[in-house]
Amino acid sequence: MASTSETGHAKNVATFNTLISFCQGYESQYKPAVAALEIVNLQSQLAAAENALNESKKKQVAFNKVVDERMNAFEPLKPLAQKMMAALSASGVSSQSSDGAKTIYRKLQGRRAGKIQATENASPDSPKNISVSQLSYDNQMANFSALIALLSTLPEYKPNETELQTSSLTTYLIQLKTANNAVIEAYTAWSNSRIARDETLYGKNGGMIDTALQVKNYVKSVFGNSSPQFQQISALQLVRIEH
């Protein structure tokens, strides 16, 4: 489901398109002295806004995809760690070494990282919550890596099962890091695309919202405050969405 802000951005762009259509309807009466307000330039600005909006949405979809992939990659981690500890217990290792592994294992089995979905201005993907979720995944990898390192030093830990051997565990750790890095990179791309979109729509130096306000003022100067033409466009609401 689209968030309120996503809907708001799209509505602003659609309203700007309607504004241009009204201005085209004024035909020869619409002849602004400011080049930025000419129809051809308004259409160019509309195209830029639509492109920025679409790019942000595409980056959001890409982010959600790799978040799902990371969740799937991490899903077997805790059950696998349980098997590792069982194999360690069956190996006859000393209690001192076993205690060290149990300490790491308890940390690894801590609170599970939740899924974050990219829906703007919704609490699950606020920068703070994304950082918390990211830290949880980082901690899981750090603890898993520490457990592998410890088991690698114990000559008693020699399971026949391939998935429990340290070489296989190291390969799996690499897969987790790859999935985690993909999320970090996708979030950076999505965040940057939102910055670009917001500058295009709401920037103080010729953003779409400011241009729309200039158009309204120009139409009012041509037809007058009480004219049907100005009433036509003054009813169009473009809202500056703050993040």
Per the structure block, which two tokens stand in for 194? 């939102």
In tens, the pLDDT along 56-98 reads: 999 999 999 999 999 999 999 999 999 999 999 999 888 888 8
Whether residue 186 is predicted with pLDDT greater than 70 in this model: the reply is yes
Which residues 6+ apart lie within 8 Å of 60 measured at CB? 118, 120, 190
pLDDT at position 128? 56
In tens, the pLDDT along 122-165 reads: 434 455 556 556 668 999 999 999 999 999 999 999 999 999 99
In tens, the pLDDT along 27-64 reads: 999 999 999 999 999 999 999 999 999 999 999 999 99
Q: What angle, rounded to 10 degrees, do the helices at 95-108 and 77-90 form? A: 170
Task: Name the residue ranges covered by the structural domains of the chain.
Answer: 4-234
- Tell me if 129 sits within 8 A of 116, measured CB to CB: yes
Query: Using CA atoms, how far apart are residues 116 and 25, in angstroms rounded to an integer?
Result: 46
